[in-house]
Homo-oligomer: A and B are copies of this chain.
Amino acid sequence: MVRHRLKDVAERAGVSVKTVSNVVNGYVHVRPDTRARVEEAIAELNYRPNLSARNLRKGRTGVIAFAVPELDIPYFAELARHVVTAAAELGWTVLIDQTGGGREQERVVASGITEHLIDGLIFSPLALTAEDLTGLAGTPMVLLGERVDHGPADHVGIDNVSAAREITAHLAGLGRRRIAAIGSQRTPEGASARLRLAGYTAALADAGLAYDERLVAPAPAWHRADGAAAMRGLLTSGVRPDAVFCFNDTLALGVLRALHEAGLRVPEDVAVAGFDDIEDGRFSVPTLSTIAPDKERIARLAVELLAGRIDGDRTAPPRELSAPWRLAPRESTLGR
């Protein structure tokens, strides 16, 4: 298992180091027989280029980072999968970073702790605002999520307001009149929450339903446990919703759990809708109605935008791209 270098290959093939480099890099003007000799030597020695050296020379590493708050949040795990796949197709390797979602940690990631190791960054911030990011961007960056709409870098998202509006309208269309919303956040970090709440209120107005503050439950984070806690809170507070729009699927799974514990039937007593279309929701009992963003497209757009930044103009104004989504009605609103 000896490591070989260009020099070793060159000696074996009887050519110069640079000629071997040319063969490795697909340079055109190499005589067929020379090329063959070199390739034979490469195969015999099982030569692999030293990426550190190549990177040092070229100023590129061929690695991009994907930074998410937590790896085991299903939505991010699924997104990560698509990012890795899309990046591989373009010849990039992906380094996955876990920020923990804290503001300071995110700042560290954004300001490039891994600088010189990565060529660019796809970043899903939870806590950082657009202002936080301004000036930090040393490496090319693409932002995901609604947190930093119109920030200082390229951004890929979906139209949260329209999507939230449509799924709320779906609930109203089923005849539900007391539609709760779970997941609101008053903190400056809650950009997605604000947009989805806006879609919710717009749909209520469309349906001629009054906005009732008591039906809007905050959730500090959007995990299953938060959804369950919020639902229990709604139930004990005495407001009796006949439908719940959860701002993401994990919240909704927690809500299903809480409703089950309370002995309420879904959707007969309470219809439940989520947002994100994670795999779990297709197998939960009942299956979960949700908004299904095109995650593959989001990942692909992000990778392409980033590649464009890395290879091309870094000073062009930030681009805002939107990925499609669709309503996925399932048992938690429609029944069986």
Residues of chain A at the chain B interface (Cβ within 8 Å) = 1, 48-53, 55-56, 61, 63, 70-72, 74, 77-78, 80-81, 84-85, 93-98, 112, 114-117, 137-138, 224-225, 228, 253-254, 256-257, 260, 279-280, 282-285, 287
Contact = CB atoms under 8 A, between A and B. Distances in A.
Contact of A81 (B50, B72, B74, B287): B72
B61 A52 contact: yes
Given A224-B279, A280-B280, A98 B85 contact: yes
A52 B138 CA distance: 17
Contacts of A224: 279, 282-283
Given A48-B116, A72-B77, A254-B283, A84 B98 contact: yes
Given A49-B116, A52-B55, A224-B283, A95 B98 contact: no
Contacts of A254: 283
A5 to B, nearest CB: 11
A56 B93 CA distance: 19
Question: How many copies of this chain does the complex contain?
Answer: 2
A50 B80 contact: no
Given A71-B84, A72-B78, A77-B72, A116 B51 contact: yes
A71 B61 CA distance: 23
A104 to B, nearest CB: 14
B71 A74 contact: no
Nearest to A79: B72
B115 A48 contact: yes
A114 to B, nearest CB: 6
B116 A93 contact: no
A117 B98 contact: no
A48 B48 CA distance: 28
A319 B228 CA distance: 43
B116 A72 contact: no
Nearest to A287: B257
Contact of A50 (B94, B116, B253, B283): B116
Given A51-B116, A114-B93, A116-B52, A256 B228 contact: no
Contacts of A287: 257
Contacts of A49: 116
